[in-house]
Chain A
């Protein structure tokens, strides 16, 4: 489903020198896979995830998504592809403070040209599925960290992406909340969703089917 070949990401340091965050990355991720990306801080894990999520455009190399050559796509085409195929879960949840739980779930759908009635149905499904119907009118600040991340996951998958990318999804949660989220990921993966997560936790990594280790930008 995803094929990376010779992906490199660098930043200029001045005087013509470059700082490489990712070097010569070759990676294949099959449909239905659950990959955990691990490595020390600064290894390039989050950068890799943002490249996979097509947020980052400053890389070189080849990136195929379902046989589509992402490296040949223009920014707008990448955005369209991302909106159709990818969901994102953040460590900091990144819910919009001034929107209710319901509105936060509605946001990705509103960017994907769903009709109002379709959006209402999908949000209702998500609220039901994640058992947060009672919290739909609450604001993020009125929720616990675990609840906020639950909403974050619900928001990431509400538009039925093929791939879910998660950047340290349990990093701000205590262990029981973290487990709850990881169980949810396992369930989603069992239902056929491809998942790539970045994690520092061996335990969370074990929920995946395989682990990719990064060090100083290289896959080791």
Chain B
């Protein structure tokens, strides 16, 4: 029976190629967009971590009353947590580390992780080849140079199955490959994909300048994972861990003061890094926004198909009436019609899934070049495909049920009469078709306003002054430590590189800086102004630190507002400690006072700095941030994490990139170049989140506009065809062209107006969702609301105008013979 229904459904669709094509495109777009967006959300939030019993794994974060959000942990606290807790069956630690890998004489930067010896065991991971680390391999400092490769990296290196036992050169030293991680495992943080893991005890070789971090309980650099003991809930574990943290605070009050811990399920913590500190829920907010937008597209598409089916239902009224007259039950006829819509939905769904794969490729191509390998894979997986199939079937029921019910509801005797068919469907003002158009317009307006807000936000972000040179600037980051240089030699080699760069006639100036504004690098430290009680919480503030060479401020065009710039003497080893601070740091520590000549020091450290200058603020992390305190000590030796060469060029900076690259390679081709961009490329990276938001929501908004216009057009065209007789009579009775035009337009625009009002109300109601994701744009921006409403009204007017123009061509003589 079902097969017969299906066969008939196939025949029906083949007989109506125009209807089939339009419906297919609408469904494929709706399902395709939703599958793509769900692919992204799946990657960010839903896809479980590929580790054993991931629901029992937690991440441990430090909370500090001075910091926004959650922070990493110190190594010494990690050791104490391990010893003192009784709620976790195991704790493992990891820390990201850029590593210089030398292969074929060329050193390239790879992303590594230093991990505790039990890392793979705690995550219950079975390596693809070889084994994970043994606890003893993480016991002796620099005693066991062993490494585990990620599956993808192993493939990149050639995928040799006999790789176990081979050596690779990391930071100029030989490491033995002992294993290859299982496919798909790229750590427990979404977005970044480490390529090689090494024991934490090897940090002396991997991050030589970070040695002191392992002895400083205050240095927060280590991520901690824990596995809950059987029967222990996360809240119980958290309570006990906080007790341990409290004991550590009492035991080490100078360094652990006002610090505690918080436990977050690993599945939840995996994507919080994307939002950054204090914005841990950004991923959820963005995902929700995208899902709502994509869901709206599907609803609009379903409304379009439902409208097409309703229009078809009118023409098929006689067929259905005959079926009913021949004895088919209403349920039987509804089943036949639903089979048709489900078939349509299935074919459209397949089209949508294919489209989603293509869109996934497009999205990957839109990802920016980043200093670290990304692990974002928005391609649909099995879970997303299942969702897409269910969504397609659900759509089939949604857009098929109402027309099916309506088709089979008509009065039999009426339907079998000629006249009822000729004028069938009538012109009832509030029929389902009209309600669908109103809903389409309302949802489209909501989506378009969201799109416009993001486009405006992107525009605002572009207008934001980052506070530093935005043209003719080259940024090249290097890390000589990865090639085995210590801090002193590394500092000298960096100076040598800058000296050579300066000799190029195209170079106006070249300088070194630790921190790349709107990028990465630098470090944060707690600062205490001298002469104040360092135990008082209000006297301690975090500042970002970037060591710089004397010409840095000129090269970067960051004006010194007060005091003086560095001299070469300030950078010499035996000179007094001096620093230039940002205006925000000056206002933070010495509000209303002159900061020049003031002194400060690092919390819990000896030796104070004298403030010799105040520089203008720059955007440090994001374009939308409120300025953060920045501290610039003079460059003396290579800081941890490498150094960046900033080159101000006389002409276009592009060719200088290659030149700096060549100079670095000439000096030592083992030195890893970790980042090289012109400032324009670099700013594009900073603008990427708002650009991506604008692209994604802009595309969805445009799609909504097109689908809604097609919907309005379809309904109005159908309405005009159904009103041929009526309009013919009106013309025969003396209606002028303008009056007929007005009549049709009024009908369509009334629907549009109701939809627009509802859409505006919905948009005002949903500003909370978008508010936190916008740069410098009021989520209720009146120009956006008014502009977009007028745009959609114009689109609706055009969609009504063309059918209305067609109404003018109705020949009353022909129309009146219609019957």
Interface size on A, residues (CB 8 A): 22
Given the known inter-chain contacts A96-B726, A107-B733, A111-B739, please indicate yes or no for A55 contacting B812, CB distance below 8 A: yes
Question: What's the least CB distance linking A46 to chain B, in Å?
Answer: 8
Interface residues of B in 724-750 (CB under 8 A from A): 725-726, 729-737, 739
Q: Mark A90-109, 1 if CB is under 8 A from B, else 0.
A: 10101111100000000110
Q: Is A45 an interface residue (CB 8 A)?
A: no
* Residue B212 interfacial (CB < 8 Å): no
The yes or no answer to B143 lying at the interface (CB within 8 A) is no
Query: What is the CA–CA distance of A107 and B812 in the complex, to the nearest angstrom?
Result: 16
A92 touches B733 (CB 8 A): no
- Which residues of B are found within 8 Å of A50, using beta-carbon distances? 813
Are B819 and A92 closer than 8 Å at their CB atoms?
yes
* Complex contacts, B819 vs chain A, CB 8 Å: 92
Could you say which residues of chain B place their CB within 8 Å of the CB of A112? 734
A92 contact from B426, B731, B739, B816, Cβ within 8 A = B816
- CB of B423 within 8 Å of the partner chain: yes
CB proximity to B under 8 Å, residues A28-63? 50, 53, 55-56
A82 close to B (CB within 8 Å):
yes
- Within the assembled complex, what's the spacing in Å between the Cα atoms of A56 and B817? 13
Q: Which residue of B lies closest to A51 (CB)?
A: B813
CA distance A50 to B819 in the complex (A): 17
Q: B427 contacts A111, CB within 8 Å? A: no
Q: A98-B426, A98-B427 are in contact. Are A56 and B734 (CB under 8 A)?
A: no
Min CB–CB distance B235 → chain A (angstroms): 65
Q: Which residue of A lies closest to B733 (CB)?
A: A108
- Which A residues lie within 8 Å of B811 (CB)? 55
B747 nearest CB across to chain A (Å): 12
Q: B736's contact among A88, A98, A108, A111, by CB below 8 Å, is which? A: A111
Contact A88 B732, CB 8 Å, known A50-B813, A55-B813, A94-B816? yes
CB distance from B419 to the nearest CB of A (A): 9
Measured CA separation A82–B812 after assembly (Å): 13
Bound Cα distance A108, B816 (Å): 16
B812 and A111 form a contact (CB under 8 A): no
Partner of B734, one of A79, A92, A95, A98: A79
B816 partner residues in chain A, CB cutoff 8 A: 90, 92, 94
Q: Which residues between 702 and 739 of chain B lie within 8 Å of chain A, taking CB atoms?
A: 725-726, 729-737, 739
> Among residues 71 to 94 in chain A, which have CB atoms less than 8 Å away from a CB atom of chain B?
76, 79, 82-83, 88, 90, 92, 94
The tally of residues in B whose CB lies under 8 Å from a CB in A reads 21
Which one of B732, B734, B813 has the highest number of Cβ atoms from chain A below 10 Å of its Cβ?
B734
Query: Which residue of chain B has its CB nearest to the CB of A98?
Result: B427
Q: How many angstroms from the CA of A107 to the CA of B732 in the assembled complex?
A: 11
Check A56–B739 contact: CB distance below 8 A: no
- Cα–Cα distance between A92 and B359 once the two chains are bound (Å): 57
B738, closest chain A residue (CB): A76
Q: Check A155 for interface membership: any CB of B closer than 8 A.
A: yes
Enumerate chain A residues within 8 angstroms of B735, measured Cβ to Cβ.
Answer: 111
**A-contact bits for B775-819, CB 8 A (1 contact / 0 none):** 000000000000000000000000000000000000111001001
Known contacts A55-B813, A56-B813, A94-B816: A107-B426 contact under CB 8 Å: no
Do A94 and B734 have beta carbons less than 8 Å apart? Answer: no
Distance between B427 CB and nearest chain A CB, rounded to angstroms: 6
Contact of A94 with B427 at beta-carbon distance under 8 Å, contacts A55-B812, A108-B734, A111-B734 already known: no
B733 contacts A155, C-beta separation under 8 Å: yes
* Shortest Cβ gap from A86 to chain B (Å): 9
Question: Which residues of A sit under 8 angstroms from B726, Cβ to Cβ?
Answer: 96-97
Q: A146-161: which residues lie under 8 A (CB-CB) from chain B?
A: 155, 159
Complex Cα distance A92/B733, Å? 14
In Å, the complex CA distance between A97 and B725 comes to: 10
- Asked whether A83 lies within 8 Å of B734 as measured between CB atoms, the reply is yes
Residue of A nearest to B429 (CB): A98
Q: How far is the CA of A53 from the CA of B812 in the complex (A)?
A: 11
Query: In the assembly, what is the distance between CA of A111 and CA of B742, in Å?
Result: 12
- Residue of A56, A76, A94, A155 with most partner-chain B CB within 10 A: A94
Docked-complex contact B732 and A55, CB < 8 angstroms: yes
Interface flags for A101-135 (1: CB within 8 Å of B; 0: not) read 00000011001100000000000000000000000
Most buried by A among B736, B812, B813: B813
Residues of A within 8 A of B423 (CB): 97
Q: Nearest B residue to A155 by beta-carbon distance?
A: B733
Q: Is the CB of A94 within 8 A of B729?
A: yes
A24 vs B606: C-alpha distance when bound (angstroms) = 118
The smallest C-beta distance from B726 to any residue of chain A, in angstroms, reads 6
| B-side contacts of A92, CB under 8 Å | 816, 819
Interface contact A96-B734, CB-CB below 8 Å: no
Give 7 nearest A-B pairs by CB, closest first: A111-B734, A83-B734, A94-B729, A108-B733, A50-B813, A111-B735, A55-B812
Contacts A96-B729, A97-B726, A107-B733 known; list 8 others, CB within 8 Å: A53-B732, A55-B812, A79-B736, A94-B732, A96-B726, A111-B734, A155-B733, A159-B734
Complex A-B: 19 CB contacts under 8 Å: A50-B813, A53-B732, A55-B731, A55-B811, A76-B736, A79-B734, A79-B736, A82-B734, A94-B732, A95-B729, A96-B729, A98-B426, A107-B730, A108-B734, A111-B730, A111-B733, A111-B735, A111-B736, A159-B734
- A residues in contact (CB < 8 Å) with B: 50, 53, 55-56, 76, 79, 82-83, 88, 90, 92, 94-98, 107-108, 111-112, 155, 159
